[in-house]
């Protein structure tokens, strides 16, 4: 009785093969248990099972044997088993279309954020829909006391806040006298303060006319409005383009 053993792929077990010299029949055992019907002297291969996996024993030239996983039986309904040595399935390559969709979504999100930040920035500087935060709806400047030596004048300016934030405003005037000489920076506070969006406030300045200058209608000039930080806030007259 001749004997040889073959390692069964994926199991670590040995298939012990014993050949009877008188008949040429070869029996196969695993752990002392027969796992197949004997292979005849003129047969080249025999299938057998180890657990749920089917293997194939082949006779090689020279009298040796080899064991491999048996091919699937296509006539019985195709491949239904999984080889213990089979390579794990490879993940599919990401689709370019998905990448483009993600890129498009990211770009759209960035543009949306930029738009929101830009709108907030415009509101922060107090810009109105037509670009100027303040609108002058009334401006009068009149002599109210002619008694010398201290004549007085009063300037009244109504101003509407066209921005989207409350403003604390100080108005600055110049008085223009004879010879176009100017006394700069008569100033006063716009009330109410702060001035809410779309609310109209009033700047009222009453002061003595300089002795060296003669008052005349239209000789008051509005120089600027400044906010609580001292920055100039732009204005325009109502109806101006």
Q: How confident is the model over 122-174, as pLDDT tens digits?
A: 443 344 445 789 999 999 888 776 666 666 778 899 999 999 999 999 999 88
Over 80: is that where the pLDDT of 82 sits? no
Strands, E assignment, the chain: 2-7, 14-19, 26-30, 33-34, 45-50, 53-59, 65-69, 134-145, 152-161, 170-176, 182-189, 200-208, 220-226, 232-233, 235-237
What pLDDT score was predicted for residue 233?
A: 93
Lowest mean pLDDT among 97-106, 151-160, 174-183, 229-238: 97-106
Average of per-residue pLDDT across 91-96: 60
Cis peptide leading into residue 192 (ω within 30°): yes
What pLDDT score was predicted for residue 81?
A: 43
**DSSP per-residue codes, 76-87:** GTS-----TTPP
Q: What is the pTM of this model?
A: 0.44
Over 80: is that where the pLDDT of 3 sits? yes
Average of per-residue pLDDT across 181-201: 87
What pLDDT score was predicted for residue 124?
A: 38
**DSSP per-residue codes, 123-140:** HHTT--TTS-SEEEEEEE
Q: How far apart are CA 203 and CA 235, in angstroms?
A: 14
What pLDDT score was predicted for residue 113?
A: 65
What pLDDT score was predicted for residue 202?
A: 96
Over 60: is that where the pLDDT of 175 sits? yes
pLDDT tens-digit series, residues 16-30? 999 998 898 999 999
pLDDT band at 86, cuts 50/70/90? very low
Over 80: is that where the pLDDT of 73 sits? no
Whole-number average pLDDT of the chain: 77
Higher pLDDT, 145 or 60: 60
What pLDDT score was predicted for residue 77?
A: 47
- Cα angle for residues 6, 54, 92 (degrees, 5° grid): 110
What pLDDT score was predicted for residue 88?
A: 52
Domain ranges within the chain, ordered by starting residue: 2-76, 134-237
Which residues does 191 contact at the CB level (< 8 Å), separation at least 6? 201, 202, 203, 204
Let me know if domain 134-237 sits in CATH 2.60.40.10: yes
Over 90: is that where the pLDDT of 47 sits? yes
Burial letters for 87-121: b for 16+ Cβ neighbours within 10 Å, e otherwise? eeeeeeeeeeeeeeeeeeeeeeeeeeeeeeeeeee
Let me know if domain 2-76 sits in CATH 2.40.128.180: yes
Over 70: is that where the pLDDT of 2 sits? yes
Higher pLDDT, 56 or 144: 56
Cis peptide leading into residue 149 (ω within 30°): yes
CB-based contact 26:37 (threshold 8 Å): no
């Amino acid at each position: 009785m001749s004997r040889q053993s073959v390692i069964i792929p994926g199991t670590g077990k040995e298939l012990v093969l014993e050949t009877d010299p008188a008949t040429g029949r070869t029996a196969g055992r695993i752990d002392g248990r027969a796992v197949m019907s004997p292979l005849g002297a003129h047969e080249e291969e025999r299938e057998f099972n180890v657990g749920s996996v089917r293997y194939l024993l082949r006779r090689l030239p020279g009298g040796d044997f080899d064991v491999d996983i048996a091919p699937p039986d296509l006539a019985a309904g195709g491949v239904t088993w999984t080889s213990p040595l089979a390579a794990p399935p490879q993940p599919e390559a990401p689709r370019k279309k998905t990448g483009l969709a993600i890129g498009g979504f990211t770009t759209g999100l960035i543009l949306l954020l930029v738009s929101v930040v830009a709108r907030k920035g415009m509101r922060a500087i107090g810009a109105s829909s037509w670009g100027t935060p303040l609108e002058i709806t009334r401006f009068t400047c009149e002599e109210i006391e002619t008694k010398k030596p201290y004549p007085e004048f009063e300037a009244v300016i109504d101003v509407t806040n066209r921005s989207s934030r409350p403003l604390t405003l100080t108005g600055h005037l110049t008085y223009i006298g004879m010879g176009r000489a100017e006394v700069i920076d008569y100033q006063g506070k716009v009330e109410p303060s702060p001035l809410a969006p779309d609310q109209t406030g009033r700047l009222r300045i009453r002061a003595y006319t300089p002795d060296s200058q003669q008052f005349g209608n239209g000789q008051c000039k509005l120089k600027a409005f400044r906010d609580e930080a001292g920055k100039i806030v732009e204005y325009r007259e109502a109806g101006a383009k």
